[in-house]
Amino acid sequence: MYKGKLPIFLLFFIVLSCGITKQKYVIDDYTIVPNAKEVLGNKGLSAFVFENNKKLLPFQQFITNKFKLDSYQEKEFWVTIDGDKYKIILYDNDELIKYINTSDFTLANQNPDVVNVGSTADFIALSMISSRNEDCLAEGSLYENIAVKYLKQLKDDYLSNDR
């Protein structure tokens, strides 16, 4: 009696487990992901994540040109907003995969590989800390509105940049 039911049960279990898919979300503009990269003094920073446009020059190159950084390898740089200093931290693709579960997101704009000019990363992530090492993107932070406004403007500048 058990011999006949066990294979049917196993087959049913396999079919069910293969058919269940996880809900994926499209990032329309940007999203804030908590508990991303850890830096000294912060357990896990919040990250500002948006979809990359692979037809543009790499975001790293855009940042280097915009802020006149010394090298494309720089992932941290300071900016001044209304007289206060903030550090922006750019995630490379490996860090993005490590700290942010990008499998929760799906791409809204997919391009054939032929038109890709820039980075192959699907998403770009940035964190921002104050001069006192506070997570500016953390929910309830006094700097949250300043950080989101600034990073959204930076994202919009990048995406409207068609060199």
pLDDT tens-digit profile, the chain (163 residues): 556 676 777 666 676 666 555 566 677 889 899 988 888 777 889 999 999 888 888 999 999 999 999 988 899 999 999 999 999 999 998 898 888 877 776 676 665 554 545 667 888 999 999 999 999 999 999 999 999 999 999 999 999 976 5
Q: Is 146 exposed, middle or buried (0-12, 13-18, 19+ CB in 10 A)?
A: middle
Q: Return d(Cα 17, Cα 120) in angstroms, integer.
A: 31
Partner residues linked to 130 by β-bridges: 86
| pLDDT value of position 114 | 46
136: helix, strand or coil:
coil
CB 90 within 8 A of CB 63: yes
**Is the C-alpha dihedral spanning 133, 39, 97, 76 positive or negative?**
positive
CB 32 within 8 A of CB 123: no
| pLDDT value of position 91 | 93
CB 125 within 8 A of CB 34: no
